[in-house]
C-alpha cells in the first residue's frame, strides 16, 4: 500500500479491479478499505466478474469517510446492465449510504458504441424510478450473451481483444482485424458466434449507424 501513497503524491489514482481469468489478483475488502482512504484516489473500475468481490469494493467505499468523493465504474461485462441499474445500500453507524455506478469502462463499449450510449441514457432515466420493467432483466441477459461472443468467454477470454478488433474491421473502422501479437486471434467458432449475435440481438448492434456516417468520419 505504501507505493500507492507515494504515487498519489505525484498524480491522481484510479483503481482497477481486474478479473483473475486475464491476470488480475483477488484483492480483499481490507485492501480496498485502505486504498480508498488515500486522498488522491478519485475513482475505481470494478471488473472482477465476481459478485462477492464486487460487493467487497462497494462496502469498502461505503464505510470510508470519502464515500461521496469516489466515482465507481463497472467493468463487469457479464453484469453491465444490472450493475448500472443497481443500488448498493449499507448501514454505516446508523447512516444509510447508497452507492451507484457512475458509468461503465468496458471492452464492450469499444464496439457498437452508439447503442451503448443509448442504453446508458435510458438507464439513467430508469434509475430515477421506483420500479423497473421486466424488459431491463431481458436486456441484461442479452448484453451478457453478446459479451460472451465478443470476449470469448467459452475459451477463458483468449479471443477478447481479437473479438473487438474483428467487429471494428467488419464495420470498416479498422483496416485490418489483426492484433500486434500473432497469438492474439479469434478462437475457433468465435467468428460464427459473433455473426449469430448480430442476428440474435440486432438491437445491440450499431452497424447501420456506422455505415451511414463512416465516410464522413474517416476522411
Which 3-state string (H, E, C) describes the chain?
Answer: CHHHHHHHCCCCEEEEEECHHHCCCCCCHHHHHHHCCCCCEEEEEEECCCHHHHHHHHHHHHCCCCCCCCEEEECCCCCHHHHHHCCEEEEECCEEEEECCCEECCCHHHCCHHHHHHHHHHHHHHCCCCCCCHHHHHHHHHHHHHHHHHCCHHHCCCCHHHHHHHHHHHCCCCCCCCCCCCCCCCCCCHHHHHHHHHHHCHHHCCHHHHHHHHHHHCC
The pLDDT-based confidence of 216 (bands split at 50, 70, 90) is: confident
Determine the average pLDDT of the residues in 5-32. Answer: 93
What pLDDT does 36 receive?
Answer: 97
With 80 as the cut, is the pLDDT of residue 183 above it? yes
What pLDDT does 23 receive?
Answer: 84
Determine the average pLDDT of the residues in 103-115. Answer: 88
Phi and psi dihedrals of 90, rounded to 5?
Answer: -130, 140
With 90 as the cut, is the pLDDT of residue 151 above it? yes
Interior CA angle at 48 toward 46 and 54, to 5°? 60
Determine the average pLDDT of the residues in 10-20. Answer: 94
Who has greater pLDDT, 24 or 108? 24
What pLDDT does 109 receive?
Answer: 84
pLDDT per position as a tens digit, 164-174:
999 999 999 99
Judge contact between 76 and 54, C-beta under 8 A.
yes
Average pLDDT of every residue of the chain: 93
With 80 as the cut, is the pLDDT of residue 219 above it? no
Judge contact between 116 and 108, C-beta under 8 A.
yes
Whose CA is closest to 22, among 135, 156, 208? Answer: 156
What pLDDT does 46 receive?
Answer: 96
What pLDDT does 107 receive?
Answer: 77
Q: What is the pTM of this model?
A: 0.90
Residues 94 and 160: their CA atoms lie apart, in Å, by 44
Residue recorded with cell 468467454 = 153
The pLDDT-based confidence of 22 (bands split at 50, 70, 90) is: confident
What pLDDT does 33 receive?
Answer: 97
What pLDDT does 130 receive?
Answer: 75
What pLDDT does 10 receive?
Answer: 96
With 90 as the cut, is the pLDDT of residue 93 above it? yes
Distances (CA, A) of 105 to 21, 80, 97: 18, 10, 24
Amino acid at each position: 500500500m505504501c507505493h500507492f501513497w507515494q504515487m498519489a503524491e505525484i498524480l491522481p489514482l484510479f483503481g482497477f479491479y481486474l478479473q483473475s481469468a486475464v491476470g488480475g489478483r483477488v484483492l480483499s475488502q481490507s485492501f480496498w478499505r485502505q486504498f480508498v482512504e488515500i486522498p488522491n484516489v478519485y475513482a475505481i473500475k470494478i471488473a472482477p466478474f465476481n459478485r462477492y468481490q464486487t460487493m467487497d469494493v462497494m462496502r469498502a467505499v461505503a464505510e470510508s469517510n470519502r464515500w461521496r468523493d469516489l466515482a465507481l465504474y463497472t467493468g463487469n461485462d457479464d453484469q453491465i446492465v444490472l450493475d448500472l441499474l443497481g443500488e448498493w445500500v449499507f448501514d454505516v453507524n446508523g447512516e444509510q449510504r447508497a452507492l451507484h455506478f457512475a458509468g461503465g469502462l468496458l471492452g464492450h463499449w469499444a464496439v457498437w458504441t452508439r447503442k451503448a450510449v443509448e442504453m446508458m441514457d435510458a438507464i439513467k432515466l430508469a434509475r430515477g424510478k421506483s420500479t423497473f420493467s421486466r424488459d431491463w432483466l431481458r436486456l441484461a441477459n442479452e448484453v451478457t450473451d453478446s459479451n460472451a461472443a465478443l470476449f470469448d468467454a467459452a475459451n477463458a477470454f483468449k479471443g477478447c481483444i481479437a473479438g473487438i478488433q474483428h467487429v471494428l474491421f467488419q464495420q470498416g473502422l479498422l483496416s485490418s482485424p489483426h492484433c500486434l501479437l500473432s497469438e492474439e486471434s479469434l478462437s475457433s467458432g468465435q467468428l460464427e458466434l459473433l455473426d449469430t449475435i448480430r442476428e440474435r440481438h440486432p438491437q445491440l448492434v450499431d452497424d447501420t449507424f456506422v455505415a451511414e456516417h463512416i465516410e464522413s468520419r474517416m476522411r
